[in-house]
Amino acid sequence: MHPYIRFSLMLAVLVMGLNGCTNYSPLVPKQEPIQIAVLPVVNESDIPQIIAPLSRNLREKLAHSPNWELVGQDQAEAKLHVTVLELEKRTMARDPRDTGRPLSFHEEVRVAVEWISELPAPWGANKVIEMSSDQILYAQPSLTDARTSATPGLADRLAEKILQRLDWDNIEAGK
């Protein structure tokens, strides 16, 4: 390809890419962010090693949201208390050649999220809501426990669901 044609194509791609950025506008909160603290996560289930990734992911998502300012408990206008309630695990398929060893599982994890604040709860009248997330796991002979390897992804999905339930409009009305 001729160098001028290559240069012209690269310049055209650059101009089109920059043109797409003209409508970009960052998320702007409607008012000052609410100061929020995340209390230690409680694990009442038998999911190994769920506390650290769930707590870390939830704090990270709140810290990157323009509507929330992550602070210590003593400075918080609102506190979130998350309890991992239970793990429901069902076998989906078994290996008929290996005495019925499970090959895949469907897991659903339920959590309770408590809103501790004088401000109204962002999800309505109840101060505590329950939500869940699920995943499908496939047994791998090389892994000692497939759940342990899937826990970080599950924790991230749960943290995202919690953040989605923190609806700014409901809180703003009570402030």
pLDDT band for position 163 (50/70/90)?
very high
Pairing of strands 78-95, 128-138: unpaired
Amino acid identity at 86: E
- pLDDT tens figures, 66-88: 989 999 999 999 999 999 998 88
pLDDT band for position 137 (50/70/90)?
low
* Residue appearing with tokens 């044609």: 5
* pLDDT above 50 for 162: yes
pLDDT at 49: 85
* pLDDT above 80 for 31: no
* Residue appearing with tokens 């797409």: 20
pTM: 0.70
Backbone φ and ψ for 7, nearest 5 degrees, come out as: -60, -40
* Residue appearing with tokens 């918080």: 76
User: What are the residue ranges spanned by the domains of the chain?
Assistant: 33-174
Whether residue 72 contacts residue 78, with contact meaning beta carbons closer than 8 Å, is answered with: no
d(CA 109, CA 30): 33
pLDDT at 97: 67
* pLDDT above 80 for 29: no
Superfamily designation of domain 33-174 = Lipoprotein like domain (3.30.160.150)
